[in-house]
Amino acid sequence: MPIYPHPFIAREGWPFLAATLAISLLATLLAGWGWSVPFWAAALFGLQFFRDPARDVPGDERAVVSPADGRIVAVESVRDPYLDREAIKVSVFMNVFNVHSNRSPVDGEVRQAWYNAGTFLNAALDKASSQNERNALWLRTDAGEDVTCVQIAGLIARRILCYVKAGDRLTRGARFGFIRFGSRVDVYLPPSVTVKTALGDKVFGGSSILAIL
């Protein structure tokens, strides 16, 4: 896995923040504070959107942690479309005010990755799982359990970033990717798991426990 720096502001946001701050300063100098307020508001929005705080990862090796910050919008028995098996799907919806750094739900090896181009529906809708642009990772734990983690673009999101490939190893809570501006992450788990979350719960990437393997 590539070395990832851990500043409070995610590296994916540096170009956006540099641009908005430069424009805000220029607008202030040329037009004064009154005209520059919208630009400073955009810069503040960028600061909150690209924040990437450190998280305390649970010590239980069997714990499946949330891959993202957000709200649980699905907990259901489904067919895993990537591994063609029965599974429990847990979906986390991220709005524009959530942290958008994506973290590994388990300790394990990346066995395979799939990218699918698609539409950009509201990521809170269930059909976004099958129709939107998405990137899936098949993770296998040391105990032999299979977990599928799927990054899904949203209505506004236009860029899914994933920094790992088949053969890489991830630890629970490790950053592996980022989705810009509103999105969703689905996790497909073995049917035997004990689910520890419910619809509507607010979760935090790398620290909230979704299930126990």
Residues 171 and 200 in one domain: yes
| Range(s) of the domain holding residue 173 | 63-212
Q: Structurally, how many domains does the chain consist of?
A: 2
Residues 17 and 118 in one domain: no
Residues 105 and 145 in one domain: yes
Give the closest residue to 120 by CA, choosing from 165, 83, 152, 168: 152
Q: Is residue 55 part of a domain?
A: no
Task: Tell me if residue 208 is catalytic.
Answer: no
Residues 130 and 88 in one domain: yes
Question: What average pLDDT score do residues 130-135 get?
Answer: 79
Residues 162 and 112 in one domain: yes
Q: Could you tell me if 83 and 188 are in contact, meaning their C-beta atoms sit under 8 angstroms apart?
A: yes
Q: Is residue 93 part of a domain?
A: yes
Residues 36 and 88 in one domain: no
Distance between CA atoms of 155 and 180, rounded to whole angstroms?
A: 11
Quote the mean pLDDT of the chain.
88
Q: Could you tell me if 161 and 179 are in contact, meaning their C-beta atoms sit under 8 angstroms apart?
A: yes
Angle, in degrees to the nearest 10, between helices 14-31 and 33-49: 170
Does 207 have pLDDT greater than 70?
Answer: yes
Give the closest residue to 203 by CA, choosing from 53, 94, 108: 94
Distance between CA atoms of 37 and 17, rounded to whole angstroms?
A: 16
Active-site annotation holder among 36, 91, 101, 183: 183
Residues 15 and 77 in one domain: no
Distance between CA atoms of 63 and 208, rounded to whole angstroms?
A: 9
Residues 104 and 192 in one domain: yes
pTM given for the model = 0.85
Question: What number of residues does the chain have?
Answer: 213
Residues 113 and 33 in one domain: no
Residue 153: per-residue pLDDT: 83
pLDDT in tens, 43-74: 888 887 888 888 889 989 999 999 999 999 99
Residue 8: per-residue pLDDT: 81
Question: What average pLDDT score do residues 170-191 get?
Answer: 90
Residues 18 and 76 in one domain: no
Which of 20-29, 73-82, 123-132, 162-171 shows the lowest per-residue confidence on average (mean pLDDT)?
123-132
Distance between CA atoms of 58 and 210, rounded to whole angstroms?
A: 11
Distance between CA atoms of 173 and 23, rounded to whole angstroms?
A: 35
Residues 26 and 111 in one domain: no
CATH number at residue 205: 2.70.70.10
